Structure 1
């Protein structure tokens, strides 16, 4: 969700989640959707997509997203672009998730190598947003998942088919395996297996990314300094044809986590632990959050 209000409460929930090791906790004030509301939103989304009006609005949304991505990432740095140039098929991109707009840095990275279109897997609650953000979610290249309730029919049949079609057309899909957004949290978190299962079953590579957040001396507001990004594009991870989808998904997930961990340690010149530190939230200049005692370096690689 796009929230412009104080982040103090959100950051306190992030802090509490790290203490309990719940690295996939929902910390934003996302709306609650009943099963019927979720089903209605997602069905309406696809009806819009399949209409000629939806096709026209998609062109406008993609143009706007590309222009906004270029503007927002004027100072963004890119490392490892050659890892993208070797990929000539559909692929799934994974990245850490800490800001509603950090996907623009990933979009701009792939545009650097001539790949013009980026699909993004997004939760159904984002379809309930308002204003310009709602327009973009409804009309950009979004693949919505139903997270509000178990949906065997949609998540087991409909969504995988949409995803497969996009990959077969040679497009790249951004999936956040950390699941929930933790605002400006610098550290890579443990990864859920879904993105890697989809890569394995569709025989496409994982484009492994880690976005480093650099705090500047410029003041953004009473709570934050301005930040800028450095996108690390890490070596792609391919399925092993000798392994089952489950085995592949576990292997690819664990390798991706290790690559993100190594990128973090190289970028910040410190070992990755999950002990709470004052600078875990990049750019924070608000009231201090309580220091910490939780640490487990093995989380996410089991």
Structure 2
């Protein structure tokens, strides 16, 4: 179960933002209210500083520390988390790109547990640069864990970023890329995906490790208006590039297949057809006050 700090404060407005974005079909939009924001110049300066820091002994020491923290957190926080479908990826010995639904700042822990069960030693995570400036403990993890930042600099994104991905994949490791882009807190439904993850899978000729996390409400209370939530990771069929296709055609085909698999996994897990009408049950664990629930019901009539 994800740490209690994740459901404290600001969730009412975030859920309202999710509902509005879903109703307007903006499934990749930002909905969080307190994410760090940097100007383009600040992003460029911060990225240059971060890339320089990566070569220092201090960074390397803290990287080891944060990887051990993630190992411990996975064992403790997610001790009851189930992982199903590992037989689908038992023959993957090389590198690959993992895609999964994005519903929490710490949902990478669920993927981390899955990767460990695949006998992979590390999981790298592609993340927006601003996330490295989150305050407190989460910011520390984002800065020193195996994070590959996205940045605004064209030279970095055109040369250094893909080089970093290739080096990791050549080492037969896995990279998590959130193809839904923005995090939607505890949102159960798979959202339409963007092409980036599939472009790099096609470019570097590696499979997509297609995943979907199911969330089940538990009877225990996590915090005001939220129950605790259990997680079931569904590892779906891997998606391979077709050697007969160009990178663009491959990426589009892989993107379409991955989204279809995630939609099918949702319908199987929840035993309901997927549609994007917003319902209070779309937010796992949420117990909305009656006034909010009635307002949601009224908005659907």
Q: Shift of residue 6 of structure 1?
A: 2.9
SS of 1:220's equivalent in the other structure is strand
- Contact 1:19–1:293 (CA<8 Å) still a contact in 2? no
The CA deviation string for residues 49-107 of structure 1, in whole angstroms up to 9 with x for no partner, is: 11122112111111111111111111101110122321111100000000111110110
TM-score by length of 1: 0.93
**Mapping of 1:35-54 within 5 angstroms?**
35-54=40-59
Deviation at 1:2, TM superposition (A): 6.0
Q: Deviations over 1:243-296 (max 9, x none)?
A: 1111000000000011101110000001111111220011101232524559xx
Match of 2:72 in 1: 67
* Aligned residue in 2 for 1:13: 17
Instruction: State the shift of 1:27 in Å.
Output: 0.4
Contact 2:263 2:274 in 1 (8 A): yes
Following TM superposition, where does structure 1 have runs of at least 4 consecutive aligned residues deviating by more than 3 angstroms? 1-4, 291-294
In the alignment, which residue of structure 2 is the partner of 1:189? Answer: 191
What residue number does 1:237 align with?
A: 239
Contact 1:84 1:110 in 2 (8 A): no
Structure 2 runs not aligned, ≥5 long: none
Decide whether aligned partners of structure 1 residues 158 and 2 sit closer, same or farther in structure 2, where only a CA change above 3 A counts: farther
Partner-residue secondary structure (3-state), 1:125? helix
Q: Distance in 2 between matches of 1:192 and 1:10?
A: 22
Are 1:290 and 2:296 an aligned pair?
Answer: yes
- The aligned runs of 1:1-302 (5 Å cut-off) are 4-29=8-33, 30-146=35-151, 150-287=152-289, 288=293, 290-291=296-297, 292-293=299-300
Distance 1:246 1:113 in 2: 29
Mapped to 1, the partners of 2:123 and 2:86 lie a distance apart of 16
Question: Are the aligned partners of 1:210 and 1:232 in contact in 2 as well (CA < 8 Å)?
Answer: yes
Corresponding residue pairs, total = 291
Supply the distance in 1 between the matched residues of 2:103 and 2:218 (Cα, whole angstroms). 17
Deviations 1:119-173 (A, max 9, x none): 0001111111122222211111000002xxx432222222111111111111100
Instruction: Indicate if the aligned counterparts of 1:97 and 1:178 stay in contact, CA closer than 8 A.
Output: yes
Q: Secondary structure at the match of 1:47?
A: helix
**Mapped partners of 1:113, 1:167: distance in 2:** 15
CA RMSD of aligned residues (A): 1.6
TM-score (norm 2): 0.93
